[in-house]
A and B are shown apart, each in its own frame.
Chain A
Amino acid sequence: MLGRTASALFWLSRYVERSEDMARLLDVGYRISLLPGIGNGGHREDWKSTLVSAGCDGGFMNTYDEVNERNVVNYMLFDDDNSSSVRSCLHTARDNARSVRTALTREMWESLNTTWIEFSEIKPHHVTRNKLPSLLDWIKERSMLFRGAMLGTILRNDTFHFSQFGAFIERADNTSRILDVKYHLLLPQNEMIGGGVDNYQWSTILRSVSAHRNYRWIYRDSRPKPWHVAEFLILRREMPRSLIHCYTWLAESMNGIEQIYGERSPSMDIARQTYDTLRAGDMTMIFASGLHEFLQNFVTCNNKLTTALATDYNFA
Chain B
Amino acid sequence: MADTSFFNEMLTADGTPRAAYKQLDGWLEQFPRSDLKRLSREAETIFRRHGITFAVYGTDEETERLIPFDIVPRILSAQEWRRLSAGIDQRVRALNALIHDIYHRQEIIRAGRLPAELVVQNEAFLPEMVGHTPARQVYAHIIGTDIVRVSENEFYVLEDNTRTPSGVSYMLENRETMMHMFPELFQSHRVAPIEHYPEMLRETLESVAPPACDGPPTIAVLTPGIYNSAYYEHAFLADTMGVELVEGRDLFVDDGYLYMRTTRQPERVDVIYRRIDDAFLDPLTFRPDSTLGVPGLFDVYRAGRVTITNAPGTGIADDKAIYSYMPEIIEFYTGEKPILNNVPTWKCEDKDSLAYVLEHLDELVVKEVHGAGGYGMLVGPAASKKERAAFARKLKARPGNYIAQPTLALSACPTFVGAEIAPRHVDLRPYVLVGDKVRITPGGLTRVALKKGSLVVNSSQGGGTKDTWVLED
Contact = CB atoms under 8 A, between A and B. Distances in A.
Contacts of A201: none
B5 to A, nearest CB: 42
A110 B262 CA distance: 26
Contacts, number: 58
Contact of B250 (A4, A95, A110): A4
Interface in B249-279: 249-250, 260-264
Interface string A103-118: 0001001100110010
Contacts of A6: 263
A117 B226 CA distance: 17
Contact of A117 (B48, B231, B239, B260): B48
A1 interface: yes
Interface in A142-168: 158, 162
Given A313-B263, A314-B262, A102 B49 contact: no
Given A102-B235, A102-B238, A3 B263 contact: yes
A101 interface: yes
Given A4-B250, A114-B49, A261 B261 contact: no
B265 to A, nearest CB: 10
A2 B250 contact: yes
A244 B249 CA distance: 37
B409 to A, nearest CB: 40
A2 B50 contact: no
Nearest to B241: A102
A316 interface: yes
A99 interface: yes
A2 B49 CA distance: 26
Contacts of B264: 261
A218 B246 CA distance: 49
Interface residues of B, number: 21
A223 B432 CA distance: 73
B260 A2 contact: yes
A118 B275 CA distance: 31
Contacts of B262: 1-3, 314
A2 B226 contact: no
Nearest to B245: A102
B247 interface: yes
A88 to B, nearest CB: 16
B239 A1 contact: no
A98 interface: yes
Contacts of B244: 2, 102
B374 interface: no
Nearest to B235: A101
A158 B260 CA distance: 17
B249 A99 contact: no
Contacts of B226: 95, 98-99
Contacts of A158: 263
Interface string A86-104: 0000000001001111100
Interface string B43-61: 0000011110000000000
Interface string B268-307: 0000000000000000000000000000000000000000
A26 B51 CA distance: 30
B165 interface: no
Nearest to A102: B239
Nearest to A106: B50
B51 A98 contact: yes
Contacts of B261: 2-4, 314, 316
B260 A98 contact: no
A316 B239 contact: no
Nearest to B243: A102
B225 interface: yes
B235 A98 contact: yes
Interface in A268-316: 313-314, 316
10 contacts: A1-B263, A2-B260, A2-B263, A4-B250, A4-B261, A98-B51, A99-B225, A102-B245, A261-B263, A314-B262
